[in-house]
Amino acid sequence: MTEIVSEPQEQKAQQAAPQAEAENTATESQPGKRSRRGGRGRQNQAKPAQAPQQAARPQHPLLEQLAQWHPALFGEQLLPFKRGIFEDLLSAHPELDQSALKTALQQHTRSGRYLVAMASGQQRHDLSGQPVEATLPEHVHHALVEVFRRRQQRTQEDLTPKLRNRIVQAYEASGLAREDYAERVRGRDEKANALVAEALAEADARAAKDEALLRSFQLSGQTSEQEFAEMYGMNPHQVAQQLQRARRRQQ
């Protein structure tokens, strides 16, 4: 899902990086030694060959130049691009080769660091690093799913609950109605769509609890959230979060 020209979807699954040639180091067997009983000792077993590993894709040299020209956007802390950044760069640097720029931006927007920036939901930025437009909920969602897909490949831990919770947060931050959000983030992956449905159901259940807590607080006559929480033996910090969410939904 790169954002080079027009408005294509961003951050689709990363193109497969070229496989590095594996260097299998075979351990030579040592000649067996005679045992005291005259038998031949066991030979040392050869170590298993290492599995081929993906070679890290070298950074496109043009990205280094872009980081020097526009450090706010391509520097150490990456920011989501505004749509149309390809044209903006060509306008600012007409000497750039279009094909090379397109390749560099494709690599950049498929990088893990850029996907994390997109998944955070922060605004899109121009060449000077100024926020200029909101990131669409579907772009945030697809980046979020891709980030967790890559992380899942590197761990035995089931990251599904964490991803579901992040989807809940993204949904609540979008301000969209449940049906609108589900429609906009729906993709071809049915497992991902099912996870969205679970996350939205969880969000609805949490919203109901938040609203019930807010009604209880209002009817209690208490003015202090902390005293209200202590009165019912609840965590004050958690109560404050729930009440804040409930009030925000009523706005």
Structure tokens at 136: 């669409």
Task: Give, in words, the CATH class of 1-12+58-154.
Answer: mainly alpha
Q: Is the pTM of this model over 0.75?
A: no
Closest to 163 measured CA to CA, from 190, 189, 134, 198: 198
In the chain, where the domains are located: 1-12+58-154, 204-250
Phi first, then psi, for residue 34 (nearest 5°) are: -70, 135
d(CA 158, CA 156): 6
What pLDDT is attached to residue 54?
A: 55
| Nearest residue to 74 via CA among 60, 94, 55 | 60
pLDDT of residue 44: 46
What's the pLDDT at 56? Answer: 62
Distance (Å, whole) CA 133 – CA 81: 9
Cα separation, 249 vs 175, in Å, equals 9
Q: In the block, which residue shows the tokens 């094909």?
A: 99
Per-residue pLDDT, 32: 44
How many C-beta neighbours within 10 Å does residue 89 have?
Answer: 22
State the Cα angle at 207 between 182 and 216, rounded to 5°.
165
Taking alpha carbons only, the member of 164, 163, 166, 177 closest to residue 249 is 177
Phi and psi dihedrals of 30, rounded to 5? -85, 145
Q: What is the structure's pLDDT at 55?
A: 57
> Which parts of the chain sit beneath pLDDT 70?
1-56
